[in-house]
Amino acid sequence: MRVLGVDPGLEITGYGVVEERGRRIAVLEAGAIRTPVKSDIADRLKKIYRGIDGLIREFRPDVLALEKLYSHYKHPASVIMMGHARGVVCLLAGLHSLDLAHYPATKIKKAITGNGRATKDQMQQMVRHLLGLSSLPGPADVADALAIAMSHFYLKRKDSLFS
């Protein structure tokens, strides 16, 4: 199984394509799509669309995994901006007939670190360790996207144990 994990953001959209090989998970591709802050929102969304569409066409994932939308009452505008990018990614999943998996941030953190309240640094360190990477995946959005993709495998394994 191949999973495309995406951490959507209007400024930086992190992505990671991972594949299950036996009990191990291998990284096929990881990176970030960056959009200029001063660009028009339509141009920014078009760049995200083209980037994720290209990844889907090249790697043919079975599943597209995302973090569920979370809004902090102190930053309502940021969730709206993230929602634009997330909507583009969800649209692409539909256009390519991909299964779309959504996980709460706390569930992803718990699947990767064992702690649902893990810090960004703890997540990056664990992603590096679990994937056997020589350096920390960065920026943090890339590590988050890899964590989202990896947690899909871990949570599916857990579900299959109890079904």
* pTM greater than 0.75 (yes/no): yes
| Predicted pLDDT at 73 | 62
Compute the distance between CA of residue 10 and CA of residue 19 in angstroms, rounded to an integer. 26
Q: What is the pLDDT of residue 5?
A: 98
Is residue 141 part of the annotated active site? The answer reads: yes
The answer to whether 2 touches 28, Cβ cutoff 8 Å, is yes
Enumerate domains of the chain plus CATH numbers. Answer: 2-161 (3.30.420.10)
Q: What is the distance between the alpha carbons of residues 51 and 80, in angstroms, rounded to a whole number?
A: 21
Is 121 marked active-site? no
Q: Is 11 a catalytic residue?
A: no
Select which of 40, 141, 144, 159 is catalytic. 141
Residues of the chain predicted below pLDDT 70:
70-75, 158-163
pLDDT at residue 72, rounded to an integer: 62
Gyration radius (Cα) of the chain, Å: 15
